[in-house]
């Protein structure tokens, strides 16, 4: 995943860009959670990366998730909390797709 992809999606150092993919993700996540965006979810994870301008060491790559990385820990934790699978629209799948 590149910094440019995260920025182009609308996750920037000055916040989420209105009308962007980022704002759509945030809206969808907030509706599903009853009005709020949870810490550690797709929106907060990607916004944190966009604000720092640093995605390269996270472990989300074009060829998949790097073993032993922050991304692999995130995926493992999400799989455990969902009975062994990664849900569509979850943090790992959303971040990996971007």
Q: Where are the domains of the chain?
A: 1-96
Assigned token pair, 11: 């996750």
Q: The tokens 């959670």 sit on which residue? A: 33
The C-alpha atoms of residue 41 and residue 46 are separated, in whole angstroms, by: 8
pTM score above 0.75: no
In order along its 98 residues, the chain shows pLDDT tens digits of 567 778 888 888 889 999 998 898 889 888 888 888 888 777 888 888 878 766 666 777 878 888 888 788 888 888 887 788 887 777 778 778 77
Q: Of the candidates 42, 73, 12, 86, which has an alpha carbon nearest to the alpha carbon of residue 65?
A: 73
């Amino acid at each position: 995943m590149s910094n440019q992809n995260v920025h182009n999606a609308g996750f920037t150092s000055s916040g989420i860009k209105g009308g962007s993919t980022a704002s759509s993700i945030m809206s969808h996540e907030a509706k599903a959670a009853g009005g709020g965006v949870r810490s550690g979810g797709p929106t907060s994870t990607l916004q944190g990366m966009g604000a720092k301008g640093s995605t390269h060491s996270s472990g989300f790559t074009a060829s998949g998730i790097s073993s032993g990385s922050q991304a692999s820990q995130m995926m493992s934790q999400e799989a455990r909390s969902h009975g062994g699978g990664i849900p569509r629209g979850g943090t790992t799948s959303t971040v990996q797709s971007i």
